[in-house]
Structure 1
Amino acid sequence: MKYFGRLTISRCNSKSSSSVLVSDPVPSDVLMDIISRLPAKSVGKCRCVCKFWALILGLPEFEELFLSKSLSRPRQFLFAAVIDDPGAVPFFTSQPPHQIQNPPLVWVTPHHTYLPAGGLSKISQPVRGWVCIEDGTGMFVVCNPITGEYVILPTLKEKMMIWVKMSLGYDPVDKQFKVLCSTWSPFNSLSIPAEHYVLTLGEQMVWRTIECCRPIRHLVQGGDGICINGLLYYMAESNNYQDIFIVCFDTRFEKLSFINKPDGMWPVGLESRLVNHKGQLGIMQCSNPNRIDGHATSFCLWLLQGGGTEWTKHISQLPFLWWNLAGETELGIVGIRAGTCELVLSPRFLSGRPIYLFYFDLERNIVTSVGIQGFEGVNSNILLAYCFVDYVENLKLI
């Protein structure tokens, strides 16, 4: 670690007009370690203290240190809202509750990103603090909600009159972010394979073709893709929904492979989601396949075992008082909290003050509600709310 010299602080003595200079050598590694324990917004303020701090806190070494500290802390929630304001994307982060209340209550921290045009239309699962956004005009960008930075992805020439699905992944070996793009035409039969491309984020962003011999389409009902240990998964279908499977994209070797769905899996509806359960790929389904509310009775979790060849089934019954908690509120599956068996459910719309999330312990069949406050400053014309679990702050510049 390099040492950049002394930190000089000028302090004014209130009893006299003289200034006292206090000089104390602060090694850069000590300064990094101290500030890396602060929230991202506090780090931004620290960068404004002096040029020395701005230099130290802008180093790639500090960005990696800050991310490692974020990964070791309790994971946050990330909220994003689609509002009636083109170009504005309000993001919010919240820490897990620190004290026991009835129910627990946490506050959100606002972050704002401004896109060139169109606002937010769709947003992918966060990967190491970054997200992939499709705006209202069909433009795709990769964004860091904490810093507000974004990069516009190059447009595919083949994009005319086709459907496009983009997913963000991360290669932990070469430490690279990559975007997988699948395109297909709604006018073609399922016998015609979709086309697949990959792009590495960096200075030279060029789409590369990925070979795939199987005719597939992204399955909308299966939700977004999920990246686990360098493998990007998403649900797909062929033969007019008769053949449903999971696509696995290796971000390092840029290869596609396929995983068969579990035998006896419930019908794939709008509330079927791929989840990360302690580093294992899982499929989470509700007894009500297309709407989760107080009428739901149970959840089913399929976990991939045996090196990706076998599935195990776990059914968890909702408690008797579930209706009293959820009622008619339309909920969505967020995911499973890292290192736990707690399934998180969130409301579809940011209505009500506060907003309540539900933690469902899949082992003990216990539901806990957590109140989230701080959305009062958002435009009232909220069209849709996105909520993501296990979000980590990343200060790395795009």
Structure 2
Amino acid sequence: MNRAENSDSIPIDLILEILEIFSRLTSKSVGRFHCVSKLWRSMLSCPYFKELYLTRSSARPRLLFVVHSVGEEEEEELHFYSSSQPPIPYDKPSLVVAADYHTTFTSELCNYASGLICFRGKGCSEEEAMPMICNPMTGQYAELPKVIMYIPSKAVLGFDPIDKQFKILVEHFPYSSATNRHIILTLGVPKLGWRSDICCPKYYGYLSEGICISGVVYYLHCARYSKGVYEIVCFDVRYEEFKVIEAQCFNHETPTLINYKGKLGGITGNLNDSGAIELRMWVLHDVGKQEWSEYVYTLPENDDIKLHDFTVAGMTTRGEFVLSMIDTFKPFYVFYFNPEKNALRSVEIQGFRENVSSVKVLVDHVEDFNFFFKRESS
């Protein structure tokens, strides 16, 4: 082995200093340096650097924007942007932030977990799909084995924080029995392939996108359409086990599922009797006992926010609710609401491409290097 390719010839103190410098770079820059040589790839793939980068990235989470548009050839496109989260304290009631563009993929459906995006790629037929997994910040991606996905079929991405494994759960036959309804794929294993050896309780279908919290994927469905009774399907990513819990507290309102300080939360927005915008949230404190708590917050008046013009994107680790506009007409705003201080501020996001049809906002995006992919989008 050439001396330049031998990490044993470099003092350990110097290697640590080099990795310290790399940990301050963007993930896209690190991904490019990863391709320079075997030595650099070895250093940047080591567990020490991955943990160091994750620690630094966790201290500076970002907003991730999934911008949906139709391309010149009438194909659905997903464009990924990000921006830093405004600092605390709230010294200004409104800010203007430029979003950084990262990459584009031809697709229309996506699901998020722990820094990665899973979306449905095109297969050879209308029912056949080629799921893909990507790093939205670097543009690197990997194509997964093809699978049959009918129109109602859904796919959710889950992450097991203990074994550090990503898994993709797909409704293979959405109307079939519990024994063969789902298939699952584990990333990072020697033989990549779909398995059907999982069984779930019977339910009627998704009413919400899946959200992964502490190794459990949650999604909402309607138990009995005539009565409007909701239930939550829970899927343990590590043990590949399902559980269904009642959610009658939602009271016929379809909530947005969010991560509330490591617990599942469901939140809705309405006008109260005084005409003010009110956020009503339910938090699942104990899955086994199915214990829920209810919280109600009234938003301060703000000229930029109107009822039905926003949706709840989630909650930051700092305890702020993030709301975003539903319509994509310029200017586009996100709103930060601090319930403890009863403070609301608007942030105008600039830099999105033209002819945008929708914008999905993901809160507290953290860059991770659990996987390096071989390809990069154009």
Relative to the length of structure 2, the TM-score reads: 0.82
**CA–CA distance in structure 1, aligned partners of residues 200 and 211 of structure 2:** 22
1:342-381 to 2 correspondences below 5 Å: 342-353=320-331, 355-375=332-352, 378=353, 380-381=354-355
Q: Does 1:331 align with 2:310?
A: yes
Instruction: Give CA deviations for 1:87-106 in whole Å, capped at 9, x if unaligned.
Output: 75321111112484451232
Q: CA RMSD in A?
A: 3.1
Given candidates 204, 222, 227, the residue that maps to 2:212 is: 227
- Name the structure 2 match of 1:90: 79
Instruction: Kindly state the Cα deviation for residue 129 of structure 1 after the two structures are TM-superposed.
Output: 0.9
Write the deviation string for residues 52-94 of structure 1: whole angstroms up to 9, x where unpaired: 54553354542343123212x1310001111222375321111
The alignment partner of 2:139 has SS state of coil
Quote how far apart the aligned CAs of 1:366 are.
2.7
For 1:259-298, list aligned pairs within 5 A: 259-263=245-249, 265-269=250-254, 272-287=255-270, 297-298=277-278
Q: Give the aligned partner of residue 315 of structure 1.
A: 296
Distance 1:31 1:346, change over 3 A: same
Equivalent-residue separation in structure 1 for 2:86 and 2:358 (angstroms): 24
Q: How many angstroms apart in 2 are the aligned matches of 1:218 and 1:107?
A: 38
CA distance in 1, matches of 2:54, 2:101: 20
Measure the CA separation in 1 of the matches of 2:363 and 2:169.
22
Secondary structure of 1:29's match?
helix
Amino acid at match of 1:383: S
2:154 to 165, 173, 185: 165
SS of the residue corresponding to residue 205 of structure 1 reads: coil
Partner of 1:21: none
Does 174-183 or 240-249 show the bigger shift?
240-249
Equivalent in 152, 162, 175 of residue 143 of structure 2: 152
Helix, strand or coil at the partner of 2:142:
strand
Structure 2 distance, partners of 1:244, 1:46, is 48
Q: Secondary structure of 1:33's partner?
A: helix
2:288 corresponds to 1:299: no
Query: 1 CA distance for matches of 2:258 and 2:12?
Result: 48
Structure 2 counterpart of 1:381, one-letter code: N
Q: Is the 8 A contact 1:168 1:180 kept in 2?
A: yes
Secondary structure of the corresponding residue to residue 83 of structure 1: strand
Residues 38, 369 of structure 1: alpha-carbon distance in 2 compared, 3 angstrom cutoff: same
Query: Matches of 1:90 and 1:273 in 2, distance apart?
Result: 23
Q: CA deviation at 1:179?
A: 0.7
Q: What stretches of structure 1 of length at least 5 have no aligned partner?
A: 7-23, 289-294
Residue segments in structure 2 that go unaligned for 5+ positions in a row: 1-5, 374-378
After superposition, where does 1:1-398 map in structure 2 within 5 Å? 3-6=7-10, 27-44=14-31, 53=40, 55-59=42-46, 61-71=48-58, 73-85=59-71, 86=75, 88-98=77-87, 100-114=91-105, 119-124=106-111, 126-135=112-121, 139-157=130-148, 159=149, 161=150, 163-185=152-174, 195-202=181-188, 203-212=190-199, 214-220=201-207, 223-240=208-225, 242=227, 243-263=229-249, 265-269=250-254, 272-287=255-270, 297-308=277-288, 309-319=290-300, 321-322=301-302, 324-327=303-306, 330-340=309-319, 342-353=320-331, 355-375=332-352, 378=353, 380-395=354-369, 396-398=371-373
The question of whether the paired residues in 1 share the 8 Å contact of 2:158 and 2:237 is answered with yes
SS in 1 for 2:153: strand
For the residues of structure 1 that align with 2:201 and 2:34, how far apart are their CA atoms? 50
Normalised by the size of structure 1, how large is the TM-score? 0.78
Counterpart AA for 2:338: D
Deviations 1:1-38 (A, max 9, x none): x95435xxxxxxxxxxxxxxxxx996212211222122
Distance 2:200 2:79 in 1: 40
The Cα of 1:391 is off from its aligned counterpart by 0.3
2: CA distance between counterparts of 1:54 and 1:284? 43
- Number of aligned residues: 352
Contact preservation (8 Å) 1:282, 1:303? yes
Pairwise CA distance, 1:107: 2.2
